[in-house]
Structure 1
């Protein structure tokens, strides 16, 4: 500093008096550096840009709480992983690829307390509760002096430093599918200190200062030279710095006032009058003062507050403050800067004798016989006189309200555990299957749930087969109240289902007859496929479903306590299984981000998806000789819409019927190729029962039971 150099030089040449003169000259030079903030000082708001590993990138010293991007200091290449799904009998195997990366990001050039939320491409990657929204492991090194080397980086580079005294974060195996298979633009909510931090504490960490402002900031990112940082602190703290020996001292309004006199005469060695007062033109005051800052109400993103001055001035002064300030504080700061610019248009020069050498820049003085207080901007020795340049002390600015504007922060949604509903139904698209199909509908306990990886086993867990991932989050719940029996051929207007959905944000809607005809509002409840035309909310996630179409696609029936899920093409994930799995219990394992352990679901695979539906429409036609002709109607796995008005396609290789005739314990099996059976009078005696099953390519249908007599 000039003060130190010239004080030492002056003492060596002229003793104590020379030292005093040197100190004053040094103060005058240092004043140009420290005392008065320039029009735009400090680092630009670069902390939110895409992080870079460019050589020489500035690493800020963080204080309080800030949102910063940091600098990538180490990374691996993208890591490719393969996954396979399918591959059952007659089906191709699907190979999928996923990508991840491991990398480290330097956050602060001083130690921190921890990291809160993390944003990736503007969306939350890590929530306030510390939950990751994408697969991967995060480790935060806070920058302590005993900080160890990160084990992942050390395994790749044995000579890597521990970066002690510097805080950084390491991502291991971060899944990149949500980010276009690239490392996303990351920003971190860094908690460097507990609570707000004072201007004085920041200044003390950045340079040899004495004292400091008591004004507080929610956070600050100090980078650049110490001069720039201290100048910003002067603006933020409504005070000023001035050199004082080998330190820089903080001054602010409220300090002790020194009384001085202005003799108003020429001093020895000076030309002209000693008393001077000047006022700069009004247009030197900016018309607008803008303060850029980080706004906590906007998730620490950049905000801008303005103070407007004289309408005729076109000059705008902008200060980019790398500090976390609320909108009110930033607006008040802009108003204070504008008020200071207005006040400091006035300059007052006072010339004193050598007894004024004790007065240094930064002191507050009062001139005898005049009102107001003045700040010493410059102190210069000219001849045998001390010339002081003064500016008025600006009165404190009243707090001014600001606005953060419309805030649309990234949603911090809980993920929660995976919820599974499993079902086996005939295909909804009239596909003729050659192997059984399992349908998986999944959701999460939290609305932030997105997907889970699936495995299946049909041998009680002896082996597991990857099945890819779930579909989009579905609407799932349980049946709290099941309806009574009703035909599948008419609207059930008397019955109703009460369901409780898994989350309060899950919603159901009504559907008119045209929408129902197109397949809207189809749900699986237990063993039944049902459509509902009316959905009435009952509160707390409960819904009453009415105007029902029951037993769709020859399905079974539901009961209270059964699982419930809406079926549609976006949320249903189907898994084709081998024929050998029919009759076995299939186990499904799902693993999502919110699952501490894999979630398991089980379903006995009956073959409903590949077997023909049971026949219907039993008719017994008595014959004159006491015999009877028994007829029934075939149903098919195909043609459920019945859009052409003719008989539905058979859907099997041939039409074959297995009939079991039970006459009081005497059981007889018959195989027919038509949907009718003629019985003699003797065969009808005693009221026997018949069980009729259609034989399909992959199994028999459920029976139609007919009682004669």
Structure 2
């Protein structure tokens, strides 16, 4: 059953703007625009994904990293796997949901993080096995088919950008919808502060200002305009019934401080006031979104020399480089110091054309002044002026600091290795098992879903997931098989690993005795004491122990698959006993696979049969041999290996020189005979589930 997560798809920005900015238009310009602001966007608003009713939806400009708002989701979908004999049932969960990103159209999306983990790379590659659909917010965008199939009737959210996840696996996120943040590219380049203001409020008619790499407009229109003016280092001024973004640039107007026409004007015609330097913060710190930090928060600080204490911290919810943010902090600090001075001048009738917000010079005096307030009484105009700090040298040493960025590495396709081999422990389970190890051609590969089929792909059975990424590759060259009883000091095995960053290592005799460097090459188990890097992913393995756990009968050959066996990378697939003798298809589907990767394995009983007996020799007129077992390979107690089967039984096929043959059975590791000279003997141990491969000899 699909459930709707309630949310608002509007904000104060969608309402009327006249009242919100009316306080900015008038005779007295609010001189605090470069300082305190109200009800504007905040630095933390884009970091946390919400699903609350009434949440403001940002209008995204440039490139920003936003969390968005969940506007629809399904209940968790449960999937079960495993549960066969010898293994427990595994439960996995997934969910489908939609996240609203921007209240205006966007171009595309870039990277996506889930709980801080990168799940979509800069190249657009998904690092999870899920479906993803982006609706960029066009006025003709259709209804999302997945939401429509779950809800029946749903809006198309035209003019708004949102994305839809389908069956996102939740195992890595605590079986809950993770906190998503998305790199949203609304425009292909940086956007001027004035252009953003014009898109937010129709009353804005002019002004460009500083180009911002990214900006997300939320809250009231007045709050947004205040933030934009602060970012641009400017202020708003009435212009033709609207607002213009004014900057300390261009030719100033000239006023004359001659005190004329003072009649009828209350108060002094001229005045100059300077506030104590202690009223100015000792330092200003600007918090911002830093593109070099994956658009996470950064802080840049500018300080002055002199008396006073205190530090003012300004939130600038825009994407700025470290250098731009530090330059802004220095400019704001310089302007705060300059604004200590207030000067009043009186003009004649012609001064009535000087509006608040204009930049002027006073006669031939040096410096530029901003008209903070203009009042007219009688035939005189009184101007209250604030000095402008002018351009400030960009402080050196701005740095984004160390960045612990989520690695963006390709997944590649799955490299799958599967074989039926003896158990790697003393577990004598009575069902055949396939041993599976996998990795990918890309360093970002993590896991893949496993399936198997015994009817040539007509039906498939879920087998859970692969283990941790293993070391996998292929055998390129191998020497002839040496005895399995001793170290092979002359032979070698050359393998090519799936990636150049995969590594092998040496192991001493004590480590080998503990099971180190155990690998499978098709059906043979091999240990190696020395691993020599040859380059280009190729390795030469020497000081070999061949045919481990009784696999000497299936020696490795060039072209066989290779996999290093470790506890965390190995997965086993338990299969019904009735499938012995059948070919099994094993498929793996990872996030980077366009189609499942398959291997075929003949299930011949290697995982459930005892190893072939050893040391067959004549004893008088008969034969004797040594029993081997599926268990007790470590030989820790120095005694006989455990039987490992329900009973001890052997079958001998005796073929005489004339071609006649006789089959006999015995319950002891001996046959009293008689056995004629030149007889060909094939000896098998009878196992609980399958017989061993034959030990053959001419006696």
> What TM-score does the superposition give when structure 2 sets the normalisation length?
0.91
Please show how residues 535-684 of structure 1 align to structure 2 within 5 Å: 535-556=531-552, 557-620=555-618, 628-652=621-645, 653-678=647-672, 683-684=676-677
Quickly say closer, same or farther: Cα 1:272–1:604, change in 2 above 3 A. closer
- Residue 128 in structure 1 maps to residue 122 in structure 2: yes
Task: Write the deviation string for residues 447-487 of structure 1: whole angstroms up to 9, x where unpaired.
Answer: 22222222222333344332222222211101122133322
The CA distance in 2 between the partners of 1:86 and 1:128, in whole Å, is: 39
Quick check: 1:61 aligned with 2:53? no
Match of 2:695 in 1: 704
For residues 610 and 61 of structure 1, what CA distance do their matches in structure 2 show?
64
Q: Following TM superposition, by how much is the alpha carbon of 1:442 offset from its aligned partner in structure 2, in angstroms?
A: 1.6
Matches within 5 A, 1:197-212: 197-207=191-201, 208-212=203-207
Residue 331 of structure 2 corresponds to 336
CA distance in 1, matches of 2:327, 2:358: 25
**Mapped pair 1:302 → 2:297:** yes
Could you say which residue in structure 2 is the equivalent of 1:470?
466
Alpha-carbon separation, structure 2, partners of 1:632 and 1:471: 40
Task: Please give the alpha-carbon distance, in whole angstroms, between the structure 1 residues aligned to 2:267 and 2:237.
Answer: 29
Match in the other structure for 1:519: 515
- Residue 482 of structure 1 aligns with which residue? 478
Name 1:18's counterpart in structure 2.
none
Instruction: In structure 1, list runs of 5 or more residues that go unmatched.
Output: 6-22
Check 1:390–1:219 CA distance in 2 against 1; reply closer, same or farther (3 A cut).
same
Task: Name the residue aligned to 2:275.
Answer: 280
Look up the match of 1:118: 112
Q: Map residues 198-597 of structure 1 onto 2, 5 A cutoff.
A: 198-207=192-201, 208-264=203-259, 267-271=262-266, 273-310=268-305, 312-400=307-395, 401-556=397-552, 557-597=555-595
Query: Which one is further off, 513-522 or 648-657?
Result: 648-657
Question: Is residue 39–residue 318 contact of structure 1 (8 Å, CA) maintained in 2?
Answer: no
Is 2:146 aligned against 1:155? Answer: no
How far residue 195 of structure 1 moved from its aligned partner, in angstroms, is 1.2
CA contact (8 A) 1:415 1:448 kept: yes
The answer (yes or no) to whether the contact 2:648–2:668 under 8 Å persists in 1 is no
Distance 2:331 2:296 in 1: 23
* Partner in structure 1 of residue 686 of structure 2: 695
Q: CA deviation at 1:380?
A: 0.9
**Segment of structure 1 superposing worse, 355-364 or 392-401:** 392-401
| d(CA) in 1 for partners of 2:522, 2:135 | 50
The alignment of Structure 1 onto Structure 2 pairs a total of residues equal to 674
Higher deviation after alignment, 545-554 or 644-653: 644-653
Indicate conservation of the 8 Å contact 1:110/1:165, yes or no: yes
Can you list the C-alpha shifts for 1:278-307, whole angstroms capped at 9, x where unaligned?
A: 211101111111111110011111111111
Render the CA deviation track for 1:514-551: whole Å, top value 9, x for unaligned.
Answer: 22111111111133211122223222222222222221
- Say if 1:25 and 1:380, in contact at 8 Å, map to a contact too: no
- Cα displacement (A) at 1:656: 2.2
Which structure: larger Rg?
A: 1
1:104 alignment partner, SS class: strand
TM-score normalised by length of structure 1: 0.90
Q: Is contact 2:86-2:574 (8 Å) kept?
A: no
1:215-238 superposed Cα distances (whole Å, 9 cap, x missing partner): 211100112222222222222222
In the superposition, relative to structure 1, how do residues 369 and 590 fare at CA in structure 2: closer, same or farther (>3 Å)? closer
1:178 aligned onto 2:172? yes
CA contact (8 A) 1:293 1:330 kept: yes
- What's the Cα RMSD here? 2.4
Distance in structure 2 (CA, Å) of the matches to 1:343 and 1:632: 102
> In the TM superposition, what is the alpha-carbon distance from 1:326 to its structure 2 partner?
0.7
Residues 381 and 100 of structure 1, relative CA distance in 2, 3 Å threshold: same
SS of match in other structure, 1:663: coil
Matched, 1:27 2:26: yes
Per-residue CA deviation, residues 169-194 of structure 1 (Å, 9 max, x unaligned), is 22222222211111111111111111
Question: What does the per-residue CA deviation read over 1:603-635, in whole Å, with 9 as the maximum and x for residues that have no partner?
Answer: 1122122222122213235x6xxxx44332222
**SS of 1:36 mapped into structure 2:** helix
Closer/same/farther in 2, CA of residues 517 and 232 from structure 1, 3 Å limit: same
SS in 1 for 2:656: strand
Report the secondary structure of 2:691's partner residue: coil
Tell me the residue number matched to 1:13. none
Bigger mean CA offset, 492-501 vs 293-302: 492-501
1:432, CA displacement in angstroms? 2.1
Note closer, same or farther for the CA distance 1:578–1:55 as it changes in structure 2 (3 Å cut): closer
Alignment partner, residue 46 of structure 2? 48
CA 1:612–1:73: 2 relative to 1, 3 Å: closer
Aligned equivalents of 2:310, 2:471: Cα separation in 1: 58
Aligned 8 A contact 2:474 2:497 in 1? yes
Equivalences for residues 45-124 of structure 1 within 5 A:
45-79=43-77, 81-87=78-84, 91=85, 94-124=88-118
Q: Say if 1:24 and 1:381, in contact at 8 Å, map to a contact too.
A: no
Q: Using the alignment, how far apart are the partners of 1:197 and 1:332 within structure 2?
A: 18
8 Å contact 1:277–1:349 — kept in the other structure? yes
Tell me whether 1:140 sits opposite 2:134 in the alignment: yes
* Cα distance in 2 for residues equivalent to 1:420 and 1:607: 21
- Per the TM alignment, residue 512 of structure 1 is displaced from its structure 2 partner at its CA by 2.1
Matched-pair contact (CA < 8 Å) for 2:105–2:160: yes
On the 8 A contact 1:474/1:571 being kept in 2, the answer is yes
Q: 1:76 to 1:639 in 2, by over 3 A?
A: closer
- Cα 1:396–1:662 shift into 2, 3 Å: farther
Unmatched 5+ residue regions in structure 2? 1-17
